[in-house]
Amino acid sequence: YRAQCPVRDPEEISGALINVVKHLGNLSYRVWEKMLEKKEIKYTPVILDPNTAGVRLTLSKDLTSIIYNDFRQKLPDPPGRFDVWRGILGSEGFSSGKHYWDVEVGDGTRWNLGVVRESIKRKGLFPLMPEGGVWSIELHNGKFTAKTSPHAFLSVGRKPQRIRVQLDWDRGELSFSDPSNNTPLYTFKDTFTEKLFPFFCTSDNRVPLKIYFHPCWT
């Protein structure tokens, strides 16, 4: 006879950490994956990894946007979760090739976007600069800055509503631009030696950071 043994959903197990991206992966993401496999598309769809999210971030159900909260959520504290920086990583990293993704920043007033190396320190404060394993630009106090040492202030004529992040791992380049008018903002040039993950950070409790999905055929 067949034993009747109920199987509990992983989400019902208190405190359990699961691969939420795989567990909740939506149909649109799977379609994008198939298109990428066939090399029909250059755009890289980024799905956020909730197990890396800072405790003051609220993540949308489809894992594509974050917003800052003034309170700390009670969450499991795995080694991969940021505990001070209000950041989160993409679920997939890159160690070769060219990739780009667009982020809707809207009228947000404080955010940081870029990539981090896989081995980055997740606990405590660390510099959001290349020497800390982070290549990024920031909007803070109305000023756009490339997080170099020293910081490079960016001349931005019109405030972008969307930021394009473009990684060429093999050439060691990470570029930022305004896709609405193809205006370049800044390009980092470095030698990448390990896998890089998309990085998103916000301290704005009014306007979320949101991954923008759109078809971009080759």
Distance from C-alpha of 189 to C-alpha of 169, rounded to nearest angstrom: 10
Distance from C-alpha of 211 to C-alpha of 102, rounded to nearest angstrom: 6
Q: In terms of Cα–Cα distance, which of 112, 110, 107, 161 is closest to 140?
A: 110
Domain limits, the chain: 40-212
Cis peptide before 150 (omega within 30 of 0): yes
pLDDT in tens, 131-188: 999 999 999 999 999 999 899 999 898 899 999 999 999 999 999 999 999 999 999 9
Residue pair 82/121 in contact by the 8 Å Cβ criterion: no
Q: In terms of Cα–Cα distance, which of 111, 110, 131 is closest to 120?
A: 131
- Mean pLDDT across the chain, nearest whole number? 83
CATH topology of domain 40-212: Jelly Rolls (2.60.120)
Q: Which residue has the tokens 């009014």?
A: 206
Residue pair 128/147 in contact by the 8 Å Cβ criterion: yes
Cα 217–chain centre separation: 23
Distance from C-alpha of 62 to C-alpha of 77, rounded to nearest angstrom: 22
Distance from C-alpha of 185 to C-alpha of 190, rounded to nearest angstrom: 17
Sheet arrangement for strand 57-59: 57-59, 65-68, 209-212, 98-104, 162-168, 173-178, 183-189
Residue pair 165/99 in contact by the 8 Å Cβ criterion: no
Average pLDDT over residues 40-59: 85
Could you tell me the pTM of the whole model? 0.80
Q: What is the pLDDT of residue 157?
A: 85
Q: What is the pLDDT of residue 2?
A: 35
209 in helix, strand or coil? Answer: strand
pLDDT in tens, 110-141: 999 999 999 998 888 888 899 999 999 999 99
